[in-house]
Structure formats: structure tokens, C-alpha cells
Amino acid sequence: PFDVLIVGGGPAGAAAAVYAARKGIRTGVASERFGGQVLDTLGIENFVSVKETEGPKFALALEEHVRHYDVDIMNLQRAKALQADAGLIEVALESGASLKARSVIITTGARWRNINVPGEKEFRNKGVAYCPHCDGPLYKGKRVAVIGGGNSGVEAAIDLAGIVAHVTLVEYDTHLRADEVLQRKLRSLPNVSVILNAQTTAITGDQKVNGLTYKDRAGGEQRRVDLEGVFVQIGLVPNTEWLKGTLELSRHGEIVVDAKGQTSMPGVFAAGDATTVPFKQIIIAAGDGAKAALGAFDHLIRTTAP
Ligand code: FAD
């Protein structure tokens, strides 16, 4: 069995692998797609000490760093279940195989919920964005829309209003669902307008985004807003469906972890976007992965191998 088996090969999993391997313990990484969300990212400018890089390049650097150590990397492997088994933890894979380990670190990440309208896929990274902390500065002085009036949408609109020329917040419902304190802050900003009861029907553009169309749900008319960017903020979904009923999850499906990354099952740790750790960012996921590996090591030295 592995001493530490990491499920997921994004920034959190890669950092956990480096930290575990450097303890001289038997380490494995099973992941569907090594690199994770970073593979879908164009430019990265907020990983401190790396002024700017590209997602695929960053993903390759993650893998190279892990391969520098004696780590068993198992790619194209999707985990489907987890269970405690006679002092070990067993991870069942969709391939039919299963892996055993004395401790497991889950770093299966998350995915942005898509709005699924024409233009969203076509203009991804060409005006369609999901992360204001990442891409906000690219729209300095431009006009953007934020789709979604929950906490993350309203937070994004407030954040972006400080950078861009104008923000249009588009909400499907007849009211915003964000906390009142955020709504009050939003209403105080001079360069934000809010459109309620509006169903986004398309994101339009040529080479890049040039507008958004929506249906006024009260009257039924189609309307259009001219702009240069659209931030979709209708939810981040953790890749934890396979853990329902096994580990304690938050109401958003995030794995509940303590300060050392320990989950509700002894010997099982978790890190990064799949967990309750606030703020989903590369540098945070990587730091969190390192922390969970040290948590797992701490667990191993306090327990005896079965
Ligand atoms: P992920 O990167 O999501 O990795 C999850 C890993 O788990 C993958 O290897 C995946 O294949 C694997 N996996 C999932 N389910 C299973 C399963 N059942 N079995 C086995 N393996 C599984 N952050 C920044 O800091 N700066 C940016 O500029 C930035 N830009 C972004 C742009 C885009 C388009 C996106 C989508 C995200 C961006 N982010 C950015 C966010 C950042 O990518 C994430 O916060 C970070 O990748 C999270 O790392 P993670 O390791 O927790 O999860």
C-alpha cells in the first residue's frame, strides 16, 4: 500500500505530492487530468514569484516538479469511491482497479457552473471569464457584465467596479440573493447598474466579446448590452459527488476540513478547491496541498502500519 495516496493532480495535489515524497514515504498520485483547471487557463499573473505564465506551461512545471521525486503518477484515473478497510483506506477507480493507502489526500478540485448560452464556449478566454481575482485586471477601463446575483456575483461586481469602467449585473430572478450588506455596498457604487428578471440568451462577439443579449422575463422583449467582458458567477461546483455519504460535505458539496486538512474520516485529508477552504486560487490550493501532506505525515507518525 501507499503511505500517502493523492487523488487529483492540480496545484493542490502536486504540492501535496512534493511534500509527501520529500518525507521519504511511499507516495502516489491518481488523477484524471494532471494539471487540473490550470490546463484551461490562458494567462496566470498572480502566482507570486512568477510574474506571468501560461496555464499549460504552469501545469507542465507542476508535473516536472513532482516527477523529480519518487512518486507513482497514475494518469487518466478517475476515483469513484472511498472506504476504510482494515486500518487502510481503499480508493476504488472507475477502471475497476482499486488502490490502498495508509492515508489519502483528496484534491479533486472544482468546476465553474456554465450558463450554457450561445457564445459562452466560443468566447471563453476571449471575453468570457469566471474568476474576477484572476481576470479582472484584463478589463481595466472596459465595460463588463456579471451574470448572477448571489453572493459571488455581487462580490465580483463590487470587486470589478474598482477596476473597470462599468459593470452591469444581470440576475435571472426578480431580486438579488446576496447578503444585504453586499447589496447595500453594490447600490452605493456609481458605475454599476443592475438588471433583474433577465434571462441571458447569448454572448455575442466577433473575434472577442462585444455584447450580451437577454430576455426581459416580465415583458418578453429581447434586449442587448454592449460590453467587452462577461463574468459568469452562477456557482463553483466541487468535484465531490463521489464522496457523498462517505465524508462530511458542506451544503455546497465542499469537503469539510480542519486546520490540518483532516476530513471527517481518520487518515483522509483534503485540500484545495474541493474543500471548505475559502478563496479558490492556485497559490491557495498549492499551500493547502502542502499543509494536508504535512497533516497526513503527522497522522502517519502517530499510527502504526496495519
Ligand atoms: P483542480 O485544479 O481543479 O484539480 C483537480 C484535479 O483532480 C485534476 O487533476 C482533475 O483531473 C482531478 N480529478 C477530479 N475529479 C477526480 C476524480 N474523481 N478522480 C481522480 N481525479 C479527479 N487561479 C489563480 O490563482 N490564478 C488564475 O489566473 C486563475 N485562472 C483561472 C482560469 C480558469 C479558466 C479557471 C477554470 C480557473 C482559474 N483559476 C485561477 C483557479 C485555479 O485554477 C484553481 O483554484 C486551482 O486550479 C485549484 O487547484 P486544485 O488542485 O484544488 O484543483
Pocket test for ligand 1, best of 48, 75, 108 (most atoms within 8 A of CB): 108
Give 7 Cα–ligand 1 centroid separation in angstroms: 13
Beta-sheet pairing, 53-54 with 110-112: unpaired
Q: Is the CB of 146 under 6 A from ligand 1?
A: no
Residue 159: partners with Cβ closer than 8 Å, 6 or more residues away:
132, 133, 136
25 is in an annotated binding site: no
pLDDT tens per residue, range 133-184: 999 999 999 999 999 999 999 999 999 999 999 999 999 999 999 999 999 9
Question: Residue 57: its pLDDT value, please?
Answer: 97
Residue 223, phi then psi, degrees to nearest 5: -130, 165
pLDDT tens per residue, range 37-51: 999 888 999 999 999
- Distance of alpha carbon 62 from its chain centroid, rounded? 17
Cβ contact 123:39 at 8 Å: no
ipTM tops the 0.95 cut: yes
